[in-house]
């Protein structure tokens, strides 16, 4: 049974480039959550998606950040025109249906901005 | 009102001792309180969780104590081991998103 798979595990980008982070949920799970962890801090909720729908994006920065979870394929968190402050670990979690706990987390993508 | 406050920030315990981490919340709508354990370079892994209809839950060496009236909950690790050295996060949820505390770095020395 594969858990939540995130790739790449490490991503290095220069300022101004785009970063694409991928998350494949646990098989059968149709709900995906993205969280960001800044160094030495707790995880902060960013966005909650179901297949083809954004349910809650209250934690997403208004600009440069977007997320999708298509009918087929992984969920994608996209950061355009990255800045140094985007350097963080980005974690994805999944659950089988709305309101289900616990959420299962992947091992994250560590994004470094040069 | 969305915050979960966690203390202490770091904790050093002798092997065999008891580790205690505390969290407090404001939002009475929270109905799920998990604790996650995170090792360096890894994602958070669920350790133990509780709902507000019980005051205590125990799983092996790990116990959650929950005080609904005080809006506080705590994690107790009995007989702490060096392998328990990690960062621990409390969290709370009432919709689908988890609100995390700021974490406690636990070091258990032999």
Segment A19-30 mean pLDDT: 94
Q: Do A105 and B44 touch (CB under 8 A)?
A: yes
Nearest CA distance, A111 vs chain B (angstrom): 12
Of A55, A103, A106, the CB nearest to B98: A103
Please tell me which residue, B95 or A3, carries the higher pLDDT value: A3
Of A95, A102, A106, the CB nearest to B43: A106
Q: Which residues of chain B have pLDDT under 70?
A: 1
Q: For strand B19-25 and strand B4-7, is the pairing parallel, antiparallel, or unpaired?
A: antiparallel
pLDDT of residue B1: 62
Chain B residues whose CB is inside 8 A of the A59 CB are: 97
pLDDT tens string A36-71:
999 878 899 999 999 999 999 999 999 999 999 999
Which residue of A4, A21, A49, A102 is the best one to mutate when testing the B interface, meaning the one whose CB has the most B CBs within 10 A? A102
Structural element, H or E, at residue A68: strand A65-68
pLDDT tens string B54-83:
999 999 999 999 999 999 999 999 999 999
For chain A, the 3-state helix, strand and coil shares in percent, each to the nearest 5, are 5, 50, 50
Which DSSP letter does residue A50 get?
Answer: E
User: Per-residue pLDDT for A25 more than 70?
Assistant: yes
User: Per-residue pLDDT for A34 more than 90?
Assistant: yes
Chain B residues whose CB is inside 8 A of the A69 CB are: none
- How far apart, in whole angstroms, are the C-alpha atoms of residue B37 and residue A46? 20
Tell me the percentage of chain A whose pLDDT exceeds 90: 81
Segment A26-45 mean pLDDT: 91
Chain A residues whose CB is inside 8 A of the B3 CB are: none
List, in sequence order, every residue forming a beta bridge with A66; answer none if it has no partner: A78
Q: Do A91 and B44 touch (CB under 8 A)?
A: yes
Tell me the percentage of chain A whose pLDDT exceeds 70: 98
Segment A15-20 mean pLDDT: 98
pLDDT of residue A94: 93
């Amino acid at each position: 049974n594969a858990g939540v798979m995130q790739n790449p595990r490490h991503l290095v980008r220069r300022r101004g480039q785009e970063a694409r982070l991928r998350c494949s949920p646990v098989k059968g799970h149709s709900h995906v959550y993205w969280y960001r962890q800044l160094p030495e801090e707790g995880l902060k909720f960013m966005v909650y998606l179901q297949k083809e729908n954004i349910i809650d994006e209250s934690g997403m920065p208004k600009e440069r950040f977007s997320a999708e979870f298509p009918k087929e394929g992984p969920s994608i968190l996209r950061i355009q025109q990255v800045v140094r402050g985007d350097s963080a670990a980005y974690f994805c979690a999944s659950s089988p249906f709305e309101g289900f706990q616990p959420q299962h987390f992947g091992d994250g993508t560590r994004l470094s901005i040069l | 009102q969305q915050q979960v406050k966690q203390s202490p920030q770091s904790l050093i315990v002798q092997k065999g001792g008891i580790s205690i981490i505390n969290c407090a919340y404001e939002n009475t709508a929270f109905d799920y309180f998990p604790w996650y354990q995170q090792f360096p370079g890894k994602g958070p892994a669920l350790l133990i969780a509780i709902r507000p209809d019980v005051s205590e839950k125990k799983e092996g060496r790990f116990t959650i104590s929950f005080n609904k009236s005080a809006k506080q909950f705590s994690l107790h690790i009995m007989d702490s081991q060096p392998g328990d050295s990690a960062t621990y996060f409390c969290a709370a949820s009432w919709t689908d998103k988890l609100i995390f505390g700021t974490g406690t770095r636990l070091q258990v020395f032999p």
